[in-house]
Each structure stands twice: as structure tokens, then as C-alpha cells.
Amino acid sequence: MAIYAVGDIQGCYKPLKTLLKQVNFNPKKDMLWCAGDMVNRGPDSLKVLRYLKSLGDACACVLGNHDIQLLAYYAGGKSFAGDTLDDVIQAKDAAELMEWLRHRPLIHHDKSLGWMMLHAGLSPLWSLKKAKKRARKVEAVLQSDDWKLFCKSLQHKGFPTQEPKDKHVRLLFNTAVLTRTRFCSDKGEFDWQQKTAHAKDKHVRPWFEHLDAKWKGDGKKKTHVVFGHWAAKGLVADHEYVLGLDTGCVWGGTLTLAKLNKDTFDIVASCSCKV
């Protein structure tokens, strides 16, 4: 069995299928990991959702900020400039797809493989145990009767820059960390505004570059993290702890597929958005 991981698909159905064809992906024996942002901005979000859902247990998907935007829009929230989600909202199977989507996790972890997947990032103050606990709390709300109100509350841009004491606000903060993180300080202060590859503010750096980040553990047994979300950063394949796979397919770049091995990886295929 082969385990493949792909970055932000964002509705780019044809490139996704081309990639999987290149490696002879077989859902009867292989598995596909999707690092969030399955939908939006690209032309075929509906086809992507239907295909990933059809794979069943052969596909592990985590939620990204654009996936949550789809849930919020379906729940009666706002649509933003550049969104390409109307075909999903208007589909006959929209309710079924939303039910499937809101039951996707924010973190997927395979201990035996030594890999964990999330969409954006982690706080340097979180251990892996704490990160998974934070994720489960958000997942519980997304899977509850209050999911519509919660998703709509995530449409504002006033996320706390540091972990708050208030439990409700903390849910918003935890969701932002897992689905929106790029830069933060070693004290767990997040910059939600910068989207460039390199920080303009010297007191923050990429979330995975903090040497003493608690999620890195004691160094005896590493857990490697595959993530997406950061098209400006591109492929991150030279770091001992992480693998970044958002290579900006929807922005004119490519969609990238990696094969995950125990504690290692191989970049096995890439495909232009022009396919």
C-alpha cells in the first residue's frame, strides 16, 4: 500500500486526476491524504468534493480555511470576492456533501508512519497532545447542531493574536491556528496578516522554524508534519520536521504529490494547473 499526500487542490479537479494517474493510484490498495483547501478559487470544487468523498476510507482529508468558508456560506454566511462555490451550494447533493465535509478532522495522525497532517500550522507552545486536543474541541462543534453559527463566526478577521482565556474565543483562535497560520513568535503570538514567503516583522518567523517548539518533542522520536496553505512559500521539502505541499496550483503554479514513507517522503509527481 502506498500513501500519497497532496497540497491545496482548491477545485483543480483535472490536475488532481492527472497526478493520481501518473502514480497509478488505486483506492483499493493505496491511500490519499489531502492537506485541506479542497475547494474554492478553482473551477471544479463540486467535482473535487464528490470524488474525494467517493474514495471513502482510501482518502483522509483535513479541513482548511476555504473548506470552512464553504460551510459558512452554505450556512447562510457571506461570499467573498473570488469565491467559486455557488455550484456546490446549488448542487442536488449539497446537503450530503456538507455533512461529509463538516465531519472531516483538523488533524490526521498516523503514529506508525510517523506523519501528521494539518492544513496550516501549530503553535510553538503546543505539544502534539495539546494540538490534537485543541483540534478535537473544534471538531466537536463542527459536528454539533451549532456548526452553522460557529462557521459564520469564523468569517470575521479579528482573530486573537495569542491564546485567550475565554473558551468560546479560544475555539476561534484554535481554528485559526490550525487553518490559517503562517508566521508567529516563539511566545505564541500570531501574525494573521502577512501572506508573503518571508516575514517583514523580525519578531515573527514561519511557525515550523521555532527551535524550541513543544510539538517537536524531545528530539528522540520525531513526528513529521505535512501541511498546505502557504502558496507564497511553495514547496517546503528541506526541513527535518515538516513537508509543505501548497505549490499554488490555483494561482498558476502546480499541484504536487508526495509519497509518504515511514519518517521520510519522496516527491513523486507535479502537474500544472493548465491541464
Q: Catalytic amino acids? A: 66
- Crossing angle for the helix pair 94-101 and 65-74, to the nearest 10 degrees: 140
User: Which uninterrupted H or E stretch holds 22?
Assistant: helix 13-22
- Phi, psi dihedrals of residue 24, rounded to the nearest 5°: 55, 45
What letter represents residue 219's amino acid? G
List, in sequence order, every residue forming a beta bridge with 105; answer none if it has no partner: none
For residue 39, give the C-alpha cell: 475547494
Other CB atoms within 10 A of residue 231 CB: 21
The rounded radius of gyration (Å) of the Cα atoms in the chain is 17
Which residues 6+ apart lie within 8 Å of 15 measured at CB? Answer: 9, 249, 254, 255, 271, 272, 273, 275
- Length, in residues, of the chain: 275
- The answer to whether the beta carbons of residues 106 and 150 sit under 8 Å apart is no
**Locus of grid cell 447542531:** 145
Q: Specify the pairing of strand 254-261 against strand 264-272.
A: antiparallel
List, in sequence order, every residue forming a beta bridge with 86; answer none if it has no partner: none
